[in-house]
């Protein structure tokens, strides 16, 4: 499609906190060995794609994933806070399984209110930074293909915002590590062409 930028938005590889179901948020947790292997496998899968630039969240799990995917392509990874995972405040470092309050909150983050949870970044804030970034990139890289490495929270929020899914059929745990969204944008509108590793009920 002429005058469109093609974006591959990828979730980072597995970390030990993913395995243990611990809330990461802005905690800077590295990839585990499986996470690095997952990134290598996706690099092979996307080998035929000519990426013109690569951007990632400034958290190490995303940056390292981007580095592995683009290693053979010799592209410098540019990091930004706009692609960061949701900020979970006091819940960072705590278990999903052992925290009933967080389990209820996680699947309904359109707004966050109430004592003790206002510090959690809500979906309006996430989509504002995510969409702003993607639109800027689409305008700068017209007719180019861009790799973007982010996190499950922002990717889920983006898909709901674009009408691909709803809060009812798309919970936080339905985006696999190294899942990706392929979409096109002219800097205003977005067209989802493909998803891989994303489970809609």
What are the sequence ranges of the domains in the chain? 5-186
| pLDDT greater than 90 at residue 156 | yes
Using an 8 Å Cβ cutoff, are 162 and 49 in contact?
no
**Burial of residue 26, with CB atoms counted within 10 A of its CB: 0-12 exposed, 13-18 middle, 19 or more buried:** middle
What's the Cα-to-Cα distance from 17 to each of 112, 115, 147, 161, rounded to whole Å? 24, 26, 24, 27
What's the Cα-to-Cα distance from 141 to each of 83, 135, 145, rounded to whole Å? 17, 10, 8
The answer for residues whose C-beta is within 8 angstroms of residue 74's C-beta and 6 or more apart is none
Using an 8 Å Cβ cutoff, are 142 and 136 in contact?
no
Q: Which of 93-97, 102-106, 114-118, 123-127 has the lowest mean pLDDT?
A: 114-118
Using an 8 Å Cβ cutoff, are 192 and 183 in contact?
yes
Q: Which of 2-11, 89-98, 103-112, 146-155 has the lowest mean pLDDT?
A: 103-112
Average pLDDT over residues 173-184: 95
| The pLDDT value given to residue 105 | 63
| pLDDT greater than 90 at residue 138 | yes
Residue/partner pairs of 40-49 with CB below 8 Å, 24 or more apart = 40/68, 41/178, 42/10, 42/69, 42/178, 42/180, 43/68, 43/69, 43/70, 43/71, 43/72, 46/8, 47/72, 49/8, 49/145
Catalytic-labelled residue, pool 12, 14, 121, 151:
12
Using an 8 Å Cβ cutoff, are 133 and 82 in contact?
yes
E strands present in 61-165: 77-80, 145-150
pLDDT-derived band at 91, boundaries 50, 70, 90? confident
Catalytic-labelled residue, pool 36, 48, 67, 85:
85
| The pLDDT value given to residue 200 | 82
**Spatial distance between the Cα atoms of 88 and 145, rounded to a whole number of angstroms:** 32
Respond yes or no: is residue 72 known to be catalytic. no
| pLDDT greater than 60 at residue 53 | yes
Respond yes or no: is residue 27 known to be catalytic. no
* Confidence (pTM): 0.92
pLDDT-derived band at 112, boundaries 50, 70, 90? low
Among the listed residues 56, 106, 114, 64, the one whose alpha carbon sits nearest the alpha carbon of residue 86? 106
Mean pLDDT over the full length of the chain: 90
H or E element at residue 19: helix 16-19
| CATH number of the structural domain 5-186 | 3.40.50.1240
């Amino acid at each position: 499609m002429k005058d469109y930028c093609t974006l591959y938005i990828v979730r980072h590889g597995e970390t030990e906190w993913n395995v243990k179901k611990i809330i990461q948020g802005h905690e800077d947790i590295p990839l585990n060995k499986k996470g690095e292997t997952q990134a290598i496998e996706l690099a092979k899968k996307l080998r035929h794609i000519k990426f013109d630039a690569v951007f990632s969240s400034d958290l190490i799990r995303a940056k390292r994933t981007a580095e592995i995917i683009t290693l053979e392509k010799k592209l410098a990874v540019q990091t930004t806070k706009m692609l960061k995972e949701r900020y979970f405040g006091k819940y960072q470092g705590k278990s999903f399984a052992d925290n009933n309050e967080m389990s209820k909150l996680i699947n309904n983050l359109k707004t966050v209110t109430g004592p003790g949870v206002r510090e959690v970044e809500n979906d309006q804030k996430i989509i504002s930074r995510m969409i702003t970034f993607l639109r800027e990139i689409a305008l700068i890289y017209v007719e180019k293909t861009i790799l973007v490495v982010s996190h499950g929270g922002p990717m889920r929020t983006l898909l709901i915002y674009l009408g691909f899914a709803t809060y009812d059929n798309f919970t936080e745990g339905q985006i696999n590590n190294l899942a990706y969204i392929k979409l096109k944008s002219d800097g205003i509108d977005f067209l989802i062409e493909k998803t891989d590793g994303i489970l809609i009920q």
